[in-house]
Amino acid sequence: MSESVSVPNQIDLVDLTETKPKTSKLYSDDESDHESENENDDMRDIVCPICKTSRYLSPDMKFLVNPECYHKICESCVDRIFTLGPTKCPYENCNKILRKLKFKRQIFDNIEIEKEIDIRNKVYKIMNKLEEDFETRKEYDKFLEDREDVIFELSNLDSNNEAQIENVEKKLMKYEQMNKRLIQVNKMKLKNQESKQNDMDSVQQNLEKERLALIKQMEEQNLEDNQTYKQKIIAELSKGTDKNKIIANVKMEIKLKKSSQRRKLEELNKVLKSNSYSYNHFNKFQENSNEEFADVPFTPFNGDRELHRKYKVLEDHQLYYDPFISNLGKVSKYVANGFNEKSIYDRLLNEAFLGFGVFIEEEKSK
């Protein structure tokens, strides 16, 4: 019934937007009807491969998959086939034994993605070390990479290649046994974190709500105030004193009132901003490590750049007498583009000592 109500509405919309001549209205009605049917055709065509029920006949039909083989089966078939206990998958040539309990709704259209997400969740549950379990960022990154490797291997290895899959799974099992306690501890931690996160989120949400309410209130009051002030001005004016003075007084009053509200809003905004709880666990390592480290650029060679340069750029680059470059530093269009005297000096000095220790005659004769 609901459909029959919505269709005329649609037609109205079509008419409005397309502004077709009225003579063709009847025809266009038919057409739009036809189109909507076409759209639904795809949906209705879906047929359960086991019982051949199509969605056209039972619109409530849901498909389920089992993470064993990821074959699509409709809900009623699952009920019918698997209530009596684990059985073979009804698909031809699929000899996997399936249990009803494991069936779940497919979330992603692409079955490959669905599969990977499942594997990912499974692996995450086992390899659940946290940032704080590691000494350095490097080790943590290594762990993350290992985890991704396992996931990749499990999800992308040919399913026929059972030996290899077994190998990876064995590895995973071994890891599980080795780290049983840590896994448990981290599980608890993760749960705590999640609830903490939820708490934080709700606080944030409340603050946001408060802010929106305040804005709305301000707007409403604004409207109201405008009216009352108008009346006030009229009333005062009727008393017949200096009109300019009265208007100025009233305006002042409005300003004062508004600014107090605005201050409140700003405060709220500040709280919202500062409340971002993304903190970096590895800050502590950075503090410990050498300060110079941060400045070293990545090199495509094996190894990082030498830290001890043959030169030192003066901290106070005003000490250099170089009218050309210091004049450039005064041109706003260069400065806006990121011109920075110090980096220029650094580059020039770097070039001055690039190859300083290379004695060609000596090295090339070897």
Partner 1 sequence: MSTTSSLKKTDKSTTNNALYSNQRVTDDDIFRNSSQFSKWSFTKQQLKDIRQNLADETLLRFQEKLKSYLAEHESDNFLTDEEKEAISSEFELGISSEEQLQIVSLYAQKVQIFCTKLKLPSEVIATSIIFFKKFYITNSVINLHPKNLIFTCIFLACKSENHFISAETFASKVKQDKQSILENEFKLLESLKFSLMNHHLFKPLHGFYLDIQSVLYGKVDKNYLGTVYEKSKKMLLNSYLTDVFYHYSPPHITLTALILEDEQLILKYLELKFLGFDPLTPEEKLNESQLISKKMYDTLMKTIENCKQDLKTSLLPDRETAWKIDARIHYFLDPMSFIKRFRAQKESNSNSNDASDEPDKKKQKIE
Least CB distance from residue 364 to partner 1, whole Å? 5
Can you spell out the DSSP letters for 34-80?
A: HHHHHHHHHHHH-B-TTT--BTTT-TT--EEE-TTT---EEHHHHHH
Least CB distance from residue 141 to partner 1, whole Å? 18
Least CB distance from residue 322 to partner 1, whole Å? 7
Query: Where does this chain touch partner 1 (CB under 8 A) — which range of 124-132, 213-221, 286-294, 353-361?
Result: 353-361
Least CB distance from residue 343 to partner 1, whole Å? 13
Contact between 142 and partner 1 by CB under 8 A: the answer reads: no
Identify which of residues 231 and 299 has a Cβ nearer to partner 1 in the complex.
299
Q: Which of residues 288-347 bind partner 1 (CB under 8 A)?
A: 299, 301-312, 314, 319-322, 345, 347
Tokens representing 236? 């005062």
Of 16, 101, 163, 360, the residue at the interface with partner 1 (CB under 8 A) is: 360
Query: Where does this chain touch partner 1 (CB under 8 A) — which range of 25-33, 113-121, 226-234, 358-366?
Result: 358-366
Identify which of residues 333 and 364 has a Cβ nearer to partner 1 in the complex.
364
51, 55, 56, 59 alpha-carbon torsion, rounded to 10°: 120
Query: Where does this chain touch partner 1 (CB under 8 A) — which range of 61-69, 144-152, 285-293, 352-360?
Result: 352-360
Decide: residue 122, CB within 10 A, 0-12 exposed, 13-18 middle, 19+ buried.
Answer: middle
* 3-state class (DSSP) for residue 62: coil
Q: Compute how many other C-beta atoms are within 10 angstroms of the C-beta atom of residue 98.
A: 23
Least CB distance from residue 182 to partner 1, whole Å? 32
Of 223, 234, 336, 358, the residue at the interface with partner 1 (CB under 8 A) is: 358
Pick left, alpha or beta for residue 179 (phi over 0 → left; psi -120 to 50 → alpha; otherwise beta).
alpha
Contacts with partner 1 by CB under 8 A: the residue count is 39
Contact between 354 and partner 1 by CB under 8 A: the answer reads: yes
Q: Compute how many other C-beta atoms are within 10 angstroms of the C-beta atom of residue 150.
A: 21
Identify which of residues 244 and 365 has a Cβ nearer to partner 1 in the complex.
365
Name the residue with tokens 């499990």.
154
Tokens representing 253? 């009053």
CA distance 280 to 48: 50
Least CB distance from residue 363 to partner 1, whole Å? 6
Relative orientation angle of helices 180-239 and 162-178, to the nearest 10 degrees: 80
Identify which of residues 22 and 312 has a Cβ nearer to partner 1 in the complex.
312
CA distance 15 to 33: 13
Least CB distance from residue 338 to partner 1, whole Å? 18
Q: Compute how many other C-beta atoms are within 10 angstroms of the C-beta atom of residue 123.
A: 19
Q: End-to-end distance of the chain based on CA atoms, in angstroms?
A: 93
Identify which of residues 187 and 309 has a Cβ nearer to partner 1 in the complex.
309
CA distance 247 to 235: 11
Of 108, 152, 282, 359, the residue at the interface with partner 1 (CB under 8 A) is: 359
Identify which of residues 205 and 350 has a Cβ nearer to partner 1 in the complex.
350
Contact between 25 and partner 1 by CB under 8 A: the answer reads: no
CA distance 10 to 33: 9
Q: Which residues bind partner 1 (CB under 8 A)?
A: 299, 301-312, 314, 319-322, 345, 347-366
